[in-house]
């Protein structure tokens, strides 16, 4: 095992997912790729790229997410891991599957938020979508016991 992909969403389970992936990377001497998928740009039905306030809010969100991702990257590098952080905009399942192929990873370590059956029926799950289509093994890290499930807006 030489390459591990760890998609992160900065939810309450992120720390646990990253720690689990880091332990495996240490054990195998593997390179780690931290991946965060930012939402795609909203589609506006005009020729303009959208109101300046919307573009500004999106830019601030992406900048904050990038800083968090860099903090995780630095922490793992400080532990002696070979790590690269990637921030991509798009649809989560599609982008994770594309990065699995592009980076030629051997394992994906993802979190489970513990949503109920109704949530999955109506909205689906990124973890389930990747699990169904991934060409490589997926390790699913459950949310901590007693931790509340992540709300759909988180």
Q: How high is the mean pLDDT of the chain?
A: 83
Higher-scoring residue by pLDDT: 48, 118: 48
Q: What is the per-residue DSSP string for 25-74?
A: HHHHT-EEEEEEEEPPPPP-SSSS---HHHHHHHHHHHHHHHHHHHHHHH
102-151 pLDDT, tens per residue?
999 999 999 886 555 544 444 457 888 898 899 999 999 987 765 544 43
Q: Does residue 95 have a pLDDT over 90?
A: yes
pLDDT of residue 11: 87
* pLDDT for res 84: 98
Q: What is the pLDDT of residue 40?
A: 80
Residue 150 has a pLDDT of 41
Instruction: Provide mean pLDDT across the span 60-79.
Output: 94
Q: What are phi and psi of 143, to 5 degrees?
A: -65, 160
Rounded to whole angstroms, how far apart are CA atoms 93 and 148?
24
pLDDT at position 56 over 60: yes
In whole angstroms, give the CA distance from residue 66 to residue 63: 5
- pTM of the entire structure? 0.81
Domain covering 3-43+50-141: architecture = 3-Layer(aba) Sandwich (3.40)
What residue segments make up the domains of the chain, in order of their start?
Answer: 3-43+50-141
CB atoms under 10 Å from CB of 21, counted, come to: 28
Residue-level pLDDT at 131: 87
| Percent over 70 (pLDDT), the chain | 76
């Amino acid at each position: 095992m030489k390459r591990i992909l760890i998609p992160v969403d900065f939810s309450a389970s992120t720390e646990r997912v990253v720690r689990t992936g880091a332990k495996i990377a240490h054990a195998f001497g593997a390179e780690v790729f931290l991946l965060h998928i930012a939402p795609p740009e909203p589609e506006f039905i005009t020729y303009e790229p959208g109101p300046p306030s919307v573009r500004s809010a999106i830019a601030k969100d992406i900048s904050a997410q990038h800083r968090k991702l860099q903090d995780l990257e630095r922490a793992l590098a400080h532990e002696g891991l070979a790590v690269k952080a990637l921030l991509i905009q798009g649809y989560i399942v599609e982008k994770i599957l594309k990065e699995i192929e592009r980076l030629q990873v051997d394992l994906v370590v993802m979190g489970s938020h513990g949503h109920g059956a109704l949530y999955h029926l109506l909205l689906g799950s990124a973890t389930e979508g990747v699990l169904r289509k991934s060409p490589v093994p997926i390790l699913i890290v459950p949310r901590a016991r007693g931790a509340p499930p992540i709300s759909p807006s988180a």
